[in-house]
């Protein structure tokens, strides 16, 4: 009776033990052993000599700009321009009220006349042995000083009018008739608008700036003329980085002039480069586990996936340029790459 009771107790335990699920790791190992397979798609690794380009935004500027001003201060008498006017070089723009300045010139002229009389008198007295040589020398010096003062006064009167230093367009009128103009205070902003004045300025990162050379050709597409490309050439490279941004400016001159230009227009600048060595590229879909310029791709050896670490340089559309890591590899996994581990059994899809 006791023997039968023991069998009744132990039998359910044996049944549970036999039907218990296997360990997950054992199951995964068993699946690999039984040939669990992933289906993937491969794309070729391209090795080619390719044309690349530096592309960046640029802004239209005028290389020629002037802010004419009075040398001496005073009340503005008349102005002969308005905003938007086109002016020629040396064209009269404004004059000062000359009452005070003319009085200064008159004083200087009278000072010269007096100094001439004093010198003549000293010379006559010296000839009669009444005046000393020192007195004659002092009178000579006084005359020279008086003449210099007259020259200064006449120079100031000459520059009591403002003339356009360049040919261009008045884009801003800063002072008007009746206002007080300080010495050196600009009365207007003149912008050169001739064909030779227009430039495109573009800020490049140092790596791209170093690749650009003076005289290099470029294409420019302006927002004002969508779809049209204008030829330009690099004419200047900055040697000082732009404050804060760390970029370095280049300037380009149009060799094919757009129909119309205005300062502040935005455009896209493209500077093509010819590569001297083979460039290796793969589809961007092949990348897994990217970290900055480091990434991993998969290729297939036999019937197993093999992970390959690579180093990237830049992205070109739907492909990436690979600097190193793909030596001897002809194709990489694209579709299905994110689900693979190195050593997985794979089957390459034909389509």
Domain chopping of the chain, boundaries: 35-49+277-348, 56-64+195-274, 99-159
Give the closest residue to 252 by CA, choosing from 217, 228, 211.
Answer: 217
In the DSSP assignment, the letter for residue 345 is B
CATH topology of domain 99-159: Helix Hairpins (1.10.287)
When pLDDT is cut at 50, 70 and 90, the band that residue 100 belongs to is confident
308 three-state secondary structure = strand
Instruction: Report pLDDT for 157.
Output: 86
Write out pLDDT tens, residues 14-45: 333 444 444 444 434 433 444 578 889 999 99
What residues contact 334, with CB distance under 8 A and at least 6 apart? 40, 41, 42, 43, 283, 285, 286
Q: Of the ranges 109-118, 141-150, 225-234, 272-281, which one carries the lowest mean pLDDT score?
A: 272-281
Report whether pLDDT(315) > 90: no
Task: Give the span between the Cα atoms of 233 and 315, in whole angstroms.
Answer: 26
Instruction: Report pLDDT for 35.
Output: 52
Mean predicted lDDT score pLDDT of the chain:
84
> Model's pTM, two decimal places?
0.53
Does domain 56-64+195-274 fall into CATH 2.40.30.170? yes
Write out pLDDT tens, residues 113-136: 999 999 999 999 988 888 899 999
Report whether pLDDT(200) > 90: yes
Higher pLDDT, 174 or 318: 174
What is the Cβ-side half-sphere exposure of residue 236, based on CA atoms within 13 angstroms? 13
- The encoded tokens of residue 234 equal 């690099």
- Tell which CATH classification among 1.10.10.10, 3.10.310.10, 1.10.760.10, 2.40.420.20 matches the domain 35-49+277-348: 2.40.420.20
Instruction: Report pLDDT for 276.
Output: 55
Instruction: Report pLDDT for 123.
Output: 92
Instruction: Report pLDDT for 78.
Output: 94
What is the Cβ-side half-sphere exposure of residue 334, based on CA atoms within 13 angstroms? 15
Q: Of the ranges 20-24, 64-68, 153-157, 258-262, which one carries the lowest mean pLDDT score?
A: 20-24
Write out pLDDT tens, residues 59-74: 999 988 999 998 888 8
Instruction: Report pLDDT for 50.
Output: 65
pLDDT (average), residues 293-315: 90
Report whether pLDDT(184) > 70: yes
């Amino acid at each position: 009776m006791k023997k039968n009771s023991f069998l009744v107790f132990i039998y359910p335990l044996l049944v549970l033990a036999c039907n218990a699920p296997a360990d997950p790791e054992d199951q995964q190992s068993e699946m690999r052993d039984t040939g669990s397979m992933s289906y993937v798609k491969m794309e070729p690794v391209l090795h080619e000599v390719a044309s690349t380009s530096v592309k960046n935004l640029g802004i239209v500027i005028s290389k020629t700009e002037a802010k004419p001003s009075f040398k001496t201060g005073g009340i503005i008498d008349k102005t002969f321009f308005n905003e938007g006017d086109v002016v020629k070089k040396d064209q009269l723009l404004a004059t000062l009220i000359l009452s005070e300045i003319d009085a200064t010139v008159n004083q200087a002229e009278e000072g010269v006349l007096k100094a001439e009389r004093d010198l003549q008198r000293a010379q006559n007295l010296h000839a009669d042995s009444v005046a000393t040589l020192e007195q004659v020398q002092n009178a000579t010096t006084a005359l020279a000083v008086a003449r210099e003062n007259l020259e200064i006064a006449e120079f100031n009167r000459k520059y009591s009018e403002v003339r356009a230093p360049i040919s261009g367009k008045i884009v801003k009128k800063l002072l008007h008739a009746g206002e007080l103009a300080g010495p050196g205070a600009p009365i207007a902003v003149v912008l050169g608008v001739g064909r030779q004045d227009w430039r495109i300025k573009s800020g490049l990162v140092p790596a791209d700036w170093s690749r650009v050379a003076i005289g290099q050709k470029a294409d420019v597409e302006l927002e004002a003329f969508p779809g049209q490309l204008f030829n330009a050439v690099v004419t200047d490279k900055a040697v000082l980085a732009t404050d804060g941004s760390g970029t370095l400016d280049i300037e380009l001159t149009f060799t094919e002039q757009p129909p119309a230009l205005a300062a502040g227009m935005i455009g896209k600048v493209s500077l093509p480069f010819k590569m001297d060595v083979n460039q290796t590229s793969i589809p961007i879909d092949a990348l897994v586990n990217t970290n900055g310029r480091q990434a991993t791709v998969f290729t297939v050896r036999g019937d197993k996936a093999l992970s390959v670490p690579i180093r990237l340089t830049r992205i070109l559309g739907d492909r990436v340029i690979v600097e190193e890591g793909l030596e001897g590899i002809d194709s990489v996994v694209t579709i299905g790459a994110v689900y693979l581990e190195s050593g997985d059994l794979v089957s390459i899809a034909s389509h």
